[in-house]
Amino acid sequence: MVSEEPVSNESSIPLFTMSSSSAQNAQNLNTHLASSTEIPLITLNITTQINQKLTPSTFSPWRAQFEALLKRYDLLDYVTDISQCPNLDNNLVSALQKTHWVQQDKVILRAILTSTSPIITPLIATAQTSHEAWKKLTSLYASRSRTRAMQLKGEIALIQRGNQSITEYLHTVKALADEIAIIDELTLYVLHGLGFDFLEIAVPIRARENPLAFEELHDLLVGHHNYLRRLDAAT
């Protein structure tokens, strides 16, 4: 007689294993979450990185310095609105990205506020983003900068050396030229205001096909000035 093995009435419970693709997706998600939380915020120490506060008459040089600072840390896209706050789409990754973006933008906004003079700060005090503050400042002062540039061109076209030393005169012209970005015309403006004593050296400089760099022009004029002083001392 053959005995029969008892048959269990319990249903077998299947074991589910994670597929390789699901495991990879989970790993990617964890990696993304970790990287999102580990990206450090970039701090800006404006008091040491910008040498002047924004006033109604210094928008162009202030903007040039601030843009250079933001480019150095790859943050310019925040103020130009190229980099925008990520939209939440009901997943944790976007939430982390948004938090980081908002925090970094607040750092930039605070830097803008800190670098403005007391007369300007209230005008952008209600700005919620760095782009909003940047756009408002540009709207307020860019047109004034163009007017200022026209005024400076008038000043530099009529500038005379007077009682200034050659070095002082050159630095005065250079400062004006830097502000209105007309370095290519710098030599002509300098020569125009030198006076008759420098006619001998001014003529060949004007005749050059390639303009002199400021440093070369400085050395030539200072050398000629010293030459004239030696002639005066010998007579």
Which two tokens mark 180? 């209105």
Which two tokens mark 68? 């250079």
CA distance 227 to 235: 13
Cα separations in angstroms, 42 against 73, 134, 152, 181: 8, 19, 37, 31
Q: Which has the closest alpha carbon to 60: 180, 186, 171, 174?
A: 180
Q: Which has the closest alpha carbon to 132: 84, 97, 61?
A: 84
- Average pLDDT of the chain is 76
Judge whether 130 and 105 are in contact, CB under 8 Å: yes
pLDDT score, position 36 = 44
The average pLDDT across 121-133 equals 95
pLDDT digits (tens, 9 = 90+) for 154-205: 777 788 888 888 888 888 888 777 766 543 456 767 777 888 888 888 888 8
pTM: 0.51
CA distance 202 to 98: 61
The average pLDDT across 6-25 equals 43
Q: 127 pLDDT band (50/70/90 cuts)?
A: very high
- Return the SS3 of 17: coil
Q: 31 pLDDT band (50/70/90 cuts)?
A: very low
